[in-house]
Chains A and B, each alone.
Chain A
């Protein structure tokens, strides 16, 4: 069967072209890319490491949707592209570094952990959020991140929520204060991130949870308050 791959190299003319490759049936996309590279086209460029869905390096888009190349079975006629929104370096390789800076900006790390007993239920509260593999698929799908590069973005916010929801974390308010600007209120709750996450994480819901924590600490949704003086809410 045939698949098409969008190639990109800034120095080539034109920089972007679609190339078609014949691949055998039944392959996982990463196997297909490896086959093309070793036998057909050495210049095809992509990332991979674990081939088992945990390192987060091989996220691409197939027919417009974000997938891990190591977890997607190739179908005839598939169109493979790099992640969107983030900058493309070459072919399927994108620049993750800008998206990763949102982690430090959002202080998506423990601030003040106390030694408290944790129970099975306490761990359950942060189990899913801590499955994140930083594959960047969610940023690729996020319409707000696309419009506004300063937006903290889904995986950073999920990670902040992971620490807010952690019973050991004492500095919950400080965490919330860090995600007010360019953070939780900017999200339109469109749910794209949730739909594409290969780990079944629900950043949209985590953002909702952060919003309700924010309300508890006296932060108001600025998008709602413009009508506040009339005592009405639309």
Chain B
């Protein structure tokens, strides 16, 4: 029997897998792509740890709590920040090639940090961490099941005993049982489609599956928008460009904000310019070709390719784009969800480390520190499931079969694109009641129409349209909850900005938003934060 079934092979899934192997467990990692194709590969900036002599763990904790605007759990923040230096040491020991400055680990300063705190490996921090974890996973004999799409969690007497998957290559449904199940399926910022910096795939199926199984989700309305994504492709231009003196100008050649302000303020300032019908540009031409080639080579290449603009010669058009999702599957300090035997870690979870807004460099840290912790806790709580084919598996097999029979009268790809557009405009950087309610009713309309959608490709062999349709169905289910959260929270806090309620309202909303399903119906409520965890 498998001791730990991990869904997702990003930084969180692989850190957990390595820890579980160290503890002598049998581990299987399942993912919808190949292991190193996880979104963790895209992280550029760095991973935080207070190791610089100017810095301290206390300062790291203080910065993280300040950015969280009251919604972080102080104990979790302390645990993660304290373990950060050890996590970097571990990554270094297993081979991650972090940059050095002389003989020390090089560190750079990211927004919201009072000291240089982010360790990095050129612009490839996430890539190099992910591949190092993968190399070690091969060494330790972690078993991988690739290109399998998570459908549902299998429950038995209220406990998670495994999950069902669609084998993308063959379109067969299979179940995998284990003593414990750990979801590490990443965030959901791609529900904003081409208004997101994320890769194809971050639609949040892990969250939706957990919710269907009865688990609680929390704080879904908190979505971080990165101020500087390329205007056409939403590819991220890293903060380093502004840090080095990049200027933001609008199409009337005016500067309209302080470039070094926090991400949420900048995103809003830029969004307002765009709303006026102006364009916004990031101007780094004065930094010179040599500097740009050395420090932003990837960004230069991608700006030329996707926008047709060479940032060395001309300002690059930009816009804010959905970047990181603070909300997720609600977990306790042991990373356990509200379902026994089911754990969650990484961007798909809400361990209350980031609260209402995440600091750059803290999420890679989270996936490593809490990934390892989750493995340990999940193994502690393991229980041998009964081996048989579960009803869930039969239902899911039937479900996939049904999808092939849908009439396909409404094109889901068009719907998906439309939804991402109105999500961005109404549930994006700036939100307001009427617009949010409008989107919610569209989502519910789309949900009702799902039965009239469907797929054109009838092949059972590597049917990527089917995969996209499944992603879309999950996206609809999750987006409904995001909207409900955004509507209910009649205040502004961190990344959630309500034009109609621009102030923070601690009396009514110093609380986590909880979401769950009862008999298929979405429910939501606030859970007030009792003790004074902010100070």
Query: Which of B127-135, B243-251, B273-281, B330-338 lies at the interface?
Result: B127-135
B-contacting residues, A22-59, CB 8 Å: 26, 28, 37-38, 42-43, 45-57
* Distance in Å: Cβ of A131 to nearest Cβ of chain B: 6
B33 neighbours in A (Cβ, 8 Å):
47, 49, 55, 57
Q: Mark B108-137, 1 if CB is under 8 A from A, else 0.
A: 000000000000011010111001100110
Across chains A and B, the number of contacting residue pairs, with CB separation under 8 Å, is: 144
B379 neighbours in A (Cβ, 8 Å):
none
Q: Is the CB of B36 within 8 A of A134?
A: yes
Q: Mark A124-141, 1 if CB is under 8 A from B, else 0.
A: 001100111110000000
B305 neighbours in A (Cβ, 8 Å):
28, 71, 73
Interface check A113, CB cutoff 8 A: yes
Return the chain B residue nearest A110 by Cβ: B95
A48 neighbours in B (Cβ, 8 Å):
200
Q: Is the CB of A49 within 8 A of B200?
A: yes
Q: Is the CB of B199 within 8 A of A45?
A: no
Q: How far is the CA of A123 from the CA of B98 in the complex (A)?
A: 8
Interface check B455, CB cutoff 8 A: yes
Query: Which of A95-103, A144-152, A172-180, A217-225 lies at the interface?
Result: A95-103
A6 neighbours in B (Cβ, 8 Å):
none
Q: Is the CB of B201 within 8 A of A49?
A: yes
* Distance in Å: Cβ of A38 to nearest Cβ of chain B: 5
Q: A49-B39, A55-B37 are in contact. Are A71 and B139 (CB under 8 A)?
A: no
* Distance in Å: Cβ of A198 to nearest Cβ of chain B: 11
Interface check B520, CB cutoff 8 A: no
B-contacting residues, A156-207, CB 8 Å: 159, 163, 166, 168-169
Q: Is the CB of B100 within 8 A of A110?
A: no
Q: Is the CB of B459 within 8 A of A90?
A: yes
* Distance in Å: Cβ of B429 to nearest Cβ of chain A: 22
Q: Mark B231-257, 1 if CB is under 8 A from A, else 0.
A: 001011000000000000000000000
Return the chain B residue nearest A134 by Cβ: B36
Interface check B465, CB cutoff 8 A: yes
Return the chain B residue nearest A11 by Cβ: B461
Interface check B167, CB cutoff 8 A: no
Interface check A10, CB cutoff 8 A: yes
* Distance in Å: Cβ of A13 to nearest Cβ of chain B: 14
B126 neighbours in A (Cβ, 8 Å):
54
Interface check A18, CB cutoff 8 A: no
- Could you say which interface size class chain A belongs to? 35 or more
Q: Is the CB of A38 within 8 A of B413?
A: yes
Query: Which of A114-122, A208-216, A226-234 lies at the interface?
Result: A114-122
Q: Is the CB of A89 within 8 A of B124?
A: no
Q: Is the CB of B462 within 8 A of A45?
A: yes
Q: A52-B298, A110-B95 are in contact. Are A131 and B103 (CB under 8 A)?
A: no
* Distance in Å: Cβ of B287 to nearest Cβ of chain A: 21
Q: Is the CB of A50 within 8 A of B136?
A: no
Interface check B530, CB cutoff 8 A: no
* Distance in Å: Cβ of B533 to nearest Cβ of chain A: 36
Q: Is the CB of A54 within 8 A of B41?
A: yes
Selected contact of A96 from candidates B34, B132, B464, CB within 8 Å: B34
Query: Interface size of B by Cβ–Cβ distance < 8 Å?
Result: 55
B79 neighbours in A (Cβ, 8 Å):
none
Interface check B302, CB cutoff 8 A: yes
Q: How far is the CA of A109 from the CA of B134 in the complex (A)?
A: 9
* Distance in Å: Cβ of B69 to nearest Cβ of chain A: 30
Q: Is the CB of A123 within 8 A of B100?
A: yes
* Distance in Å: Cβ of A201 to nearest Cβ of chain B: 12
Q: Is the CB of A110 within 8 A of B94?
A: yes
Q: Is the CB of B199 within 8 A of A90?
A: no
B39 neighbours in A (Cβ, 8 Å):
49-50, 55
Q: Is the CB of B199 within 8 A of A130?
A: no
A130 neighbours in B (Cβ, 8 Å):
97, 121, 124, 128, 131-132
A113 neighbours in B (Cβ, 8 Å):
93-95
* Distance in Å: Cβ of B186 to nearest Cβ of chain A: 11
Q: A50-B42, A131-B124 are in contact. Are A119 and B135 (CB under 8 A)?
A: no
* Distance in Å: Cβ of A126 to nearest Cβ of chain B: 5
* Distance in Å: Cβ of A163 to nearest Cβ of chain B: 7
A104 neighbours in B (Cβ, 8 Å):
138
Interface check A80, CB cutoff 8 A: no
Q: How far is the CA of A118 from the CA of B98 in the complex (A)?
A: 9
B24 neighbours in A (Cβ, 8 Å):
none
Selected contact of B37 from candidates A49, A71, A103, A166, CB within 8 Å: A49
* Distance in Å: Cβ of A23 to nearest Cβ of chain B: 15
Q: Mark A81-106, 1 if CB is under 8 A from B, else 0.
A: 00000000110010011001001100
Interface check B389, CB cutoff 8 A: no
B-side interface residues toward A, CB under 8 Å?
A: 33-34, 36-39, 41-42, 93-95, 97-103, 121-122, 124, 126-128, 131-132, 135-136, 138-139, 146, 169, 199-201, 233, 235-236, 298, 301-302, 305-306, 308, 413, 417, 455-457, 459, 461-465
Can you report 13 residue pairs joining A to B where beta carbons are below 8 Å apart? A48-B200, A51-B233, A52-B302, A54-B41, A54-B126, A54-B127, A56-B37, A71-B301, A71-B305, A104-B138, A119-B103, A127-B97, A130-B131
Q: Which 9 A-B pairs have the closest CB atoms?
A: A109-B135, A42-B456, A109-B139, A50-B199, A49-B199, A110-B95, A43-B457, A55-B37, A90-B462
- For the A-B complex with A51-B199, A123-B99, A168-B95 known, give 19 more contacts whose Cβ atoms are closer than 8 Å: A10-B461, A42-B457, A43-B457, A45-B462, A45-B463, A45-B464, A53-B301, A55-B33, A55-B38, A55-B39, A71-B301, A73-B305, A90-B462, A104-B138, A109-B95, A109-B136, A118-B100, A123-B100, A130-B131
